[in-house]
Amino acid sequence: MQAVILAAGEGTRMRPLTYTRPKVMLPIANRPILEHLMEELAKAGVDEAVIVVGYRDETIRSHFGEKWNDIRIRYVRQSKQLGTAHALLSAEHVLEDRFLMLNGDAIIFEDDLRKLVKERNGIAVFEVPNPEDFGVVEVVDGKVSRIVEKPEKPKSNLINAGVYAFTKEILNYVKKTTVSIRGEYEITDSITMAISEGFEFKAVKIERWIDVGYPWDLLKANEELLKNIESKIDGEVEENATIKGNVVVGEGSVIMSGVYIVGPVMIGKNCRIGPNCYIRPYTSIGDNCHVGAAVEIKNSIIMAGTKLPHHNYVGDSVIGENCNFGAGTKIANLRLDEGEVIVNVKGKAVRTGRKKFGAAIGDNVKTGINASINVGSMIGNDVFIGPGAVVSGFVEPHSKVY
């Protein structure tokens, strides 16, 4: 079975984390989103993946190569990201008669994928409490009758999960698809056109679906995946270190004396943890990281090569690669009034739906001693934050804050 994976976009809503990598390569549970999806596809019997790439495609190509596990990989470049229908058309020359089409920035699991593999033409639908925020799928007698984008009064709680079973016949409608009001060629418009001409798509209800739109969604996804890990200690755990619950420690990592870890927690390879630090549940720490004395991390993603060496607090945050926090740098994760955290995204105030969210910090950020990062801050890559500085809101890449 063939799968076409759309992975060309930058993911602008994921800035500042996507300034230096495509969205599909953001890590959750210490592996890129796309890798988790590829693993589930392999388990469901997919043996070839056509990955449609574009933005920073070298990151994807170098990670997966020409074969990943038992999946042969072909790459198709979408030089301009003009929508999902345009992306599929970019892959026309390599398509088999039947194939799956998926977004590379969402995870669907083996059991649900197997349901779709059985269908010639099917659309994955997922039940949510807030359908007005998605494309709502209306179903009649098990068949999709309509897809309505973000309706004010949804007629259904079923949304389009962006996972499809197609035959090559869909291309007849893709080629006739016109530009939408959002300025893109959208596969949902192609599907609507096909339905209007009598084409039938089965509504395939799925049980698990992890979708990430904003940086704080990575924390929820990380939590979901860490719930299912089993303890595996391949590194060294010194005497007087305490490990509770399910914890993974990679090869070459050292958990030093006085460290207290409460799982589920995942620690990568060649990390130095401790002495005397506290790592709380639902934390992922990438390879080659250092977490030092009197540091506390809670419910966070720390990417590879980052150093939190002295008296730091990081809660409910996503920290990019190769960052270095000065002694005493702390991230606030709770408003004083305990209200919902509001974040500046692309110049607009966006509700996170979270009472606790600290910061999203890009790669190569350095802070001086006793720097303070306020709740809901978004900090671009290669930013320098001076000693004692207080940071709030959105900070552009390559800035200096004093």
pLDDT digits (tens, 9 = 90+) for 230-273: 999 999 999 999 999 999 999 999 999 999 999 999 999 999 99
Contact 257, 275 (CB under 8 A): yes
Give the tens place of pLDDT for each residue, 294-335. 999 999 999 999 999 999 999 999 999 999 999 999 999 999
User: Is the pTM here over 0.85, yes or no?
Assistant: yes
Q: Taking 80 as the threshold, does the pLDDT of residue 347 lie above it?
A: no
Residue of 256, 308, 313, 260 lying closest to 285 (CA atoms):
308
**pLDDT averaged over the chain?**
93
Reported confidence tier of residue 30, pLDDT bands at 50, 70, 90: very high
Q: Is 310 a catalytic residue?
A: yes
Q: Using H for helix, E for strand and C for coil, what is the string for the chain?
A: CEEEEEECCCCHHHCCCCCCCCHHHCEECCEEHHHHHHHHHHHCCCCEEEEEECCCHHHHHHHHCCEECCEEEEEEECCCCCCHHHHHHHCHHHCCCEEEEEECCEEECHHHHHHHHCCCCEEEEEECCCHHHCEEEEEECCEEEEEEECCCCCCCCEEEEEEEEEECCHHHHHCCCCCCCCCCCCHHHHHHHHHHCCCCCEEEECCCEEECCCHHHHHHHHHHHHCCCCCEECCEECCCCEEECCEEECCCCEECCCCEEECCEEECCCCEECCCCEECCCEEECCCCEEEECCEEECCEECCCCEEEECCEEECCEECCCCECCCCCEECCECCCCCCCEEEECCEEEECCCCECCEEECCCCEECCCCEECCCEEECCCCEECCCCEECCEECCCCEEC
Give CA–CA dist 134/148, Å, rounded: 8
**The pLDDT of residue 181 is above 90:** no
Q: 139: pLDDT confidence band, cut at 50, 70 and 90? A: confident
Q: Does residue 35 surpass a pLDDT of 80?
A: yes
374-393 residue pLDDT tens: 999 999 999 999 999 999 99
Chain centroid to Cα 60, Å, comes to: 14
pLDDT at residue 148 above 90?
no
Cα torsion at 8, 12, 17, 20 (round to 10°)? 50
Which entry of 36, 93, 310, 311 is annotated as an active-site residue? 310
Domains of the chain: 2-213 (3.90.550.10), 223-401 (2.160.10.10)
Percent of the chain scoring above 90 in pLDDT:
77
pLDDT at 97 over 90: yes
The pLDDT confidence band at residue 171, using thresholds 50, 70 and 90, is very high
Over residues 362-377, the mean pLDDT reads 97
